[in-house]
Chains A and B, each alone.
Chain A
Amino acid sequence: MNAVPVADPRPLVELIIDGQAVRVPQGSTILDACRQEGIDTPTLCWAENLTPVNVCRVCIVEVENSRVLVPSCSRGAEDGMVVATDSERVRTSRKMVFELLASSVDLDRADDEVHAWMDHYGCDPGRMGDKADIATVAQPPKVQDDLYVRDYERCILCYKCVEACGEDAQFTFAIATAGRGFGAHISTEFDVSLPDSACVYCGNCIGVCPTGALVFKTEHDMREEGTWNEDAQSVTTTVCTFCGVGCNLELHVQDEQIVKVTSPADHSVTNGHLCIKGRFGWQHAQS
């Protein structure tokens, strides 16, 4: 007997997305349904290995008979729902969200797809005013040690780092949102330094950051020097050496040097999450 219990089959619900009938298992989100149908949808705060917190609002869609636009990442798909992902309202709203974020935050190191979406919607953050004249989160990067850098002028407050530090991965709760309104920011308890906080340097926050606000020190330094070149990097998947868990490591290599370590979010062993040794303990490979 080697039976592995599998979940009961879920009934399907049928909804209409952009005029097409779509059937998805009950419990799926609208975003799941869109992805199943190959309908590209922008996301910033969503990740496959985190619980949706629906704060960024770039994935919003229009649902018939709903007064407001709804976040597709967390709104469940329902039988009979009629969804529009490319209506004028949706396009205007997504464009505006990107523009507002980009007007106060430096998005130039955000994932490529963020820039592709901003181009797609014809975003012009400059119309919100010159960055020199309007409120921004510009500030010097926090460089505290040799492992990672917190460059909060690139932070859009998507909460992914908070989720990964807390209940979605590490259960360390070293960081949370502090302050209110425009003063809201990611902080350790009482803003203490990282080694004095609960931080265990797993770097799972870096792993999920979509805008380059949290980066490896190596990447930060190479970008400052102008030597960071993703086109010249190879990515090789291997297994961490430091214990028996078997976390998969993606070694990003440039000029025969490891410059960054990530982990595949879809791998069953740890779903993309690592510890300090796996993420940062690779220097012995090049000493």
Chain B
Amino acid sequence: MWVVDPRRSASARFADVWLGLNVGTDIALAHGVAREIVTAGLVDREFVDRATTGYEEFVAYVDEWTLERTEEVTGVPAPAIREMAHAYATAPMAQILWTLGITEHHTGVDNVLSLCNLSLLTGHVGRWGSGLCPLRGQNNVQGGGDMGALPNKLPGFQDVEDDEARARFEAAYGTAIPAQNGWNLTEMFEAMGRDELKALWVIGENPADSEADVSHARRLLGNLDVMVVQDVFMTRTAQMADVVLPAALGWAESDGTVTNSERRVQRTRAAVPPPGQARQEIDIIADLAERMGATNWGRPTAEELWDELRSLSPMHTGMSWERLEAEGGIQWPCPEEGHPGSPFLHGRLWEDPVGGRPAPFSCVPWKPPVDELSDEYPLRLTTGRVLDAYNTGVQTDKYNSPLRSGEALDLSAADAVALGVEAGERVRVSSRRGSIEMTVAIDASLQLGLAFTTFHFPELADVNQLTCDAYDPKSGTSEFKAAAIRIDKLGAGVRA
């Protein structure tokens, strides 16, 4: 296992090799690895010739990424880059797994494409044991997208702007569906800024704590004509709402399904009743639909909704409720009842001739983070999670974890000495967007110039006042992973 991460994370400690690259240099590293695979003659030419397009152009494009230049940009020693390239290319099976360190950048989509290039060069895709896998951060990130909770997709990843697909859903739903893609989260905030979006219904999300440049986000939420929040807790967002709809907890108080990182659809089941006035989310939504004038919704059960989905989403059609019960989970696509489900995707690339469109190489440019380091903001801040906590802490602050360290700004020992601060000292942390007080901790494994903090304790440290809301134009995801900050002592040194 090779771990590539600016920090020596817990996973890095388990790894055979850890490459501590500079924040925001993922594409540079991928291109350097690609060039090394090409120059060392380790390309799977048969696969490339048969199943891909754009190879020659790609080889020319990455030619500038010599090991030396890659080392200069990424900070990873050239021999380590070379060794990883060879280990990956020569492995009988190899997977690339990633999480938000790849996607929470203004080049998030290009970061992913640069990794896809590596799998295409080596044929590590579409085969059992090889592939590319985004590790999902919640139990149903995958399922939410699968169900069409995306501004450009209907359930089963069918395009909103595809007239035929839309017509099938319109016939089943008995209503017209807007023919244009909607807004993603970032575009919605921009629309709030233009006063075009005036009403918001937030379900199970806490943007008043979780958005990048959160002070700006709070101002926009505060300016809405009306905000409805449907949640299990009185989050900061719920406290700002005009109406709060208390909801049953998905995983312990509701029947339904969730879909994990490997596309496995599994049943959730109600084990305890929801407290007080909290209601099943299906009932809340159906009630609201009725108030808005819908007459044919009734009170569908989770199973009835699932069967409706199966009738409209071909990749789910074979997954009957009974099969999900009996088999303990099925991986999509599962197009008919007798289908066992699909442990991996893209097997078509190994068919002869290739089934469907060949896979294109992507010539994507490396661009440094938007929030540039300067004399005024000389340190790089990256945010992330720790093992025992979850997102803005709404759920995990309810149990007493012995591992909990609370909010802290991790610094390397050398940076702490240079700044004249020590562990436990309160300091002022500022970025181009905001300024908060935090407590210093020393992480001996951090590289020089890098600071780290979690975002689990917004009541203690409102970290997203510091983060940068520059975003990827394709995904709409903000560059949480790369803020430029400065650290100032508080007077003569204040202890926490």
Interface, chain A (partner B; CB < 8 A): 1-5, 144-147, 171, 194-195, 200-201, 234, 236-246, 248-249, 251, 253, 256-258, 267-269, 275-277, 280-287
How far is it, in angstroms, between the C-alpha of A61 and the C-alpha of B383 when the chains are bound?
57
A244 with B142: CB separation less than 8 A? yes
In-complex Cβ contact of A1 among B251, B253, B350, B402 (8 A): B350
Within 8 A of A (CB), among B266-314: 266-273, 275
Within 8 A of A (CB), among B84-139: 126, 128, 135-139
Closest to B10 in A: A200
A4 with B128: CB separation less than 8 A? yes
B138 cross-chain contacts in A, Cβ below 8 A: 241-244
B357 at the binding interface (Cβ < 8 Å): no
A253 with B272: CB separation less than 8 A? yes
Within 8 A of A (CB), among B376-408: 387-390, 394-396, 398-403
Given known pairs A244-B141, A276-B403, the reply for A4 and B343 (CB within 8 Å) is yes
Query: Is chain A's binding surface mostly helix, strand, loop or mixed?
Result: loop
Report the count of interface residues on B (CB-CB < 8 A): 54
How far is it, in angstroms, between the C-alpha of A285 and the C-alpha of B233 when the chains are bound?
10
How far is it, in angstroms, between the C-alpha of A239 and the C-alpha of B260 when the chains are bound?
10
A280 with B399: CB separation less than 8 A? yes
B128 cross-chain contacts in A, Cβ below 8 A: 3-5
B250 at the binding interface (Cβ < 8 Å): yes
A246 with B272: CB separation less than 8 A? no
Given known pairs A241-B395, A244-B139, A246-B258, the reply for A236 and B403 (CB within 8 Å) is no
How far is it, in angstroms, between the C-alpha of A280 and the C-alpha of B388 when the chains are bound?
10
B275 cross-chain contacts in A, Cβ below 8 A: 286
A276 cross-chain contacts in B, Cβ below 8 A: 387-388, 401, 403
A285 with B388: CB separation less than 8 A? no
Closest to A267 in B: B328
In-complex Cβ contact of A277 among B126, B249, B273, B388 (8 A): B388
Given known pairs A239-B258, A268-B328, A284-B233, the reply for A246 and B266 (CB within 8 Å) is yes
Binary CB contact string for chain B from 238 to 275 against chain A (1 if under 8 A, 0 otherwise) = 00000000000111110000111110101111111101
Given known pairs A2-B344, A2-B347, the reply for A246 and B261 (CB within 8 Å) is yes
Besides A3-B347, A243-B139, 12 other A-B contacts (C-beta < 8 A):
A147-B402, A200-B387, A236-B270, A237-B267, A239-B260, A244-B136, A253-B271, A256-B273, A258-B271, A281-B390, A284-B233, A287-B398
B183 at the binding interface (Cβ < 8 Å): no
Closest to A5 in B: B128
A253 cross-chain contacts in B, Cβ below 8 A: 271-272
B268 with A281: CB separation less than 8 A? no
B342 at the binding interface (Cβ < 8 Å): yes
Closest 9 CB pairs of A and B: A244-B136, A246-B260, A236-B271, A244-B261, A284-B398, A251-B271, A241-B251, A146-B400, A1-B347
Given known pairs A201-B401, A245-B261, the reply for A240 and B251 (CB within 8 Å) is yes
Given known pairs A144-B402, A146-B400, A239-B258, the reply for A285 and B141 (CB within 8 Å) is no
A1 with B351: CB separation less than 8 A? yes
B343 cross-chain contacts in A, Cβ below 8 A: 2, 4
B260 with A269: CB separation less than 8 A? yes
In-complex Cβ contact of A280 among B251, B273, B344, B401 (8 A): B401
Binary CB contact string for chain B from 158 to 199 against chain A (1 if under 8 A, 0 otherwise) = 000000000000000000000000000000000000000000
In-complex Cβ contact of A248 among B252, B270, B328, B398 (8 A): B328
B348 at the binding interface (Cβ < 8 Å): yes
B347 with A238: CB separation less than 8 A? no
User: B210 → chain A, closest Cβ, in Å?
Assistant: 16
In-complex Cβ contact of A195 among B139, B267, B402 (8 A): B402
How far is it, in angstroms, between the C-alpha of A42 and the C-alpha of B481 when the chains are bound?
53
How far is it, in angstroms, between the C-alpha of A139 and the C-alpha of B399 when the chains are bound?
28
B329 at the binding interface (Cβ < 8 Å): yes
B233 with A245: CB separation less than 8 A? no
Within 8 A of A (CB), among B346-393: 347-348, 350-351, 387-390
A237 cross-chain contacts in B, Cβ below 8 A: 267, 269
A286 with B272: CB separation less than 8 A? yes
B136 cross-chain contacts in A, Cβ below 8 A: 243-244
B272 with A258: CB separation less than 8 A? yes
How far is it, in angstroms, between the C-alpha of A275 and the C-alpha of B139 when the chains are bound?
14
Within 8 A of A (CB), among B1-54: 14
User: A31 → chain B, closest Cβ, in Å?
Assistant: 25
How far is it, in angstroms, between the C-alpha of A214 and the C-alpha of B137 when the chains are bound?
30
B390 cross-chain contacts in A, Cβ below 8 A: 242, 277, 281
How far is it, in angstroms, between the C-alpha of A268 and the C-alpha of B331 when the chains are bound?
12
How far is it, in angstroms, between the C-alpha of A276 and the C-alpha of B54 when the chains are bound?
46
In-complex Cβ contact of B137 among A243, A248, A267, A268 (8 A): A243
In-complex Cβ contact of A281 among B266, B344, B395 (8 A): B395
Closest to B399 in A: A283
A258 with B252: CB separation less than 8 A? yes
User: A194 → chain B, closest Cβ, in Å?
Assistant: 7
Closest to B258 in A: A239
User: A279 → chain B, closest Cβ, in Å?
Assistant: 10
How far is it, in angstroms, between the C-alpha of A236 and the C-alpha of B262 when the chains are bound?
23
How far is it, in angstroms, between the C-alpha of A282 and the C-alpha of B251 when the chains are bound?
10
A145 cross-chain contacts in B, Cβ below 8 A: 400, 402
A251 with B387: CB separation less than 8 A? no
A147 cross-chain contacts in B, Cβ below 8 A: 399-402
